[in-house]
């Protein structure tokens, strides 16, 4: 979904893209691009038919994993023909957590929240519940190219939110192999130490700095618009170097 975002009183185009790098699922944030060009690309890659088929494959993979592990789950049909935009994984997580025995069968560190279930389980190659979402997402380099060609900038979104065990080395690898413009350093779940690490990472490499609450409506608990969990104090001066002029005048 392409959104209009307010920065320093200006309205610009923005979008969060789910993508893949080194076989892992990550997100990037694009700002200030020609939305018509990017929308044309997204429409070709993410038609309703493709999304429905991809979701069906992942849904069936997850049911198969659950069955193989012997986890208790209320009956789910794998014959469904359509899927809505809501994470189907959330409904399955809610069901699985109703049964205490599931935590004994699969004693992985994935049960505390849906975020843990998704990040540490379903999208983590080391987990027994891994179903490889990244297989169906465009490569990070491709998204960066599309946004740059459309006149925008690209930020790596909330690096510590992926809950990798090797975030620091993963960041180094991304930087060495990709031409992104900045990093989201301020985020609602980050500790002060994590934010400081990312700010230093960005400054050392002359990258732009961004921040956000990751507000997605009421489906994300404790993610309030603009303030996150009340802990966001994003300095306005980090936007000084953002060279975003595309569509400002047109949107006004």
CA distances for 235 relative to 8, 18, 223, angstroms: 11, 26, 19
Q: What is the pLDDT of residues 159-205, one digit of tens each?
A: 999 999 999 999 999 999 999 999 999 898 889 899 999 999 999 99
CB 203 within 8 A of CB 48: no
Q: What is the pLDDT of residues 193-215, one digit of tens each?
A: 999 999 999 999 999 998 877 77
* Dist. CA 102–CA 98, nearest whole Å: 9
Residue of 161, 207, 208, 209 lying closest to 188 (CA atoms): 161
Name the one residue in this structure whose structure tokens are 């994003």. 234
CA neighbor of 129 nearest in space, from 85, 89, 88:
89
Question: What is the C-alpha separation between 231 and 34, in angstroms, rounded?
Answer: 33
Distance CA 175, CA 153 (A): 15
Question: Is the pLDDT confidence value at 235 over 80?
Answer: no
DSSP code for 118: I
Written as six digits, the tokens of 136 are: 């169906």
Helix (H, G, I), strand (E, B) or coil at 227: coil
The full length of the chain comes to 252
Reported in sequence order, the residue ranges of 113-161 that DSSP labels E, i.e. its strands, are: 153-156
The predicted pLDDT at position 248 comes to: 38
Q: Taking a C-beta distance cutoff of 8 angstroms, is the pair 150, 38 a contact? A: yes
**Phi-psi domain of 104 (left: phi exceeds 0; alpha: psi -120 through 50; beta: other):** alpha
Secondary element (H or E) of residue 16: strand 10-21
H or E segment to which residue 35 belongs: helix 35-45
* Angle value at C-alpha 90, between 158 and 76, nearest 5 degrees: 150
pLDDT band at 250; cut points 50, 70, 90:
very low
What are the pLDDT digits (tens) for 9-67?
Answer: 667 788 999 999 999 999 999 998 998 899 888 888 888 888 888 999 999 999 999 99
* pLDDT, mean of residues 126-131: 95
Q: How far, in Å, are 144, 154, 181, 190 from residue 141 at the CA level?
A: 5, 11, 12, 26
């Amino acid at each position: 979904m392409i959104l209009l975002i307010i920065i320093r009183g200006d309205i610009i185009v923005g979008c969060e893209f789910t993508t893949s790098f080194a076989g892992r699922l990550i997100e990037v944030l694009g700002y200030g691009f020609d939305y018509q060009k990017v929308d044309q690309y997204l429409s070709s890659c993410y038609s309703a038919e493709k999304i429905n088929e991809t979701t069906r494959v992942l849904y069936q993979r997850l049911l198969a994993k659950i069955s193989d592990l012997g986890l208790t789950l209320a009956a789910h049909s794998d014959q469904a023909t359509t899927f809505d935009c809501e994470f189907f994984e959330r409904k399955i997580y809610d069901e699985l957590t109703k049964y205490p025995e599931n935590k004994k069968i699969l004693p992985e560190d994935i049960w505390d929240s849906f975020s843990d279930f998704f990040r540490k389980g379903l999208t983590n190659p080391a987990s027994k519940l891994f179903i490889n979402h990244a297989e169906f997402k465009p490569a990070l380099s491709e998204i960066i190219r599309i946004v740059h060609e459309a006149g925008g900038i690209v930020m790596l979104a909330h690096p510590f939110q992926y809950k990798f065990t090797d975030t620091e080395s993963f960041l180094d690898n991304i930087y060495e192999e990709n031409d992104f413009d900045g990093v989201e350093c301020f985020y609602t779940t980050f500790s002060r130490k994590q934010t400081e690490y990312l700010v230093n990472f960005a400054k050392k490499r002359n990258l732009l700095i961004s921040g956000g609450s990751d507000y997605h409506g009421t489906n994300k608990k404790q993610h309030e618009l603009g303030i996150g969990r009340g802990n966001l104090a994003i300095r306005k001066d980090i936007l000084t170097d953002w060279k975003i002029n595309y569509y400002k005048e047109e949107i006004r």
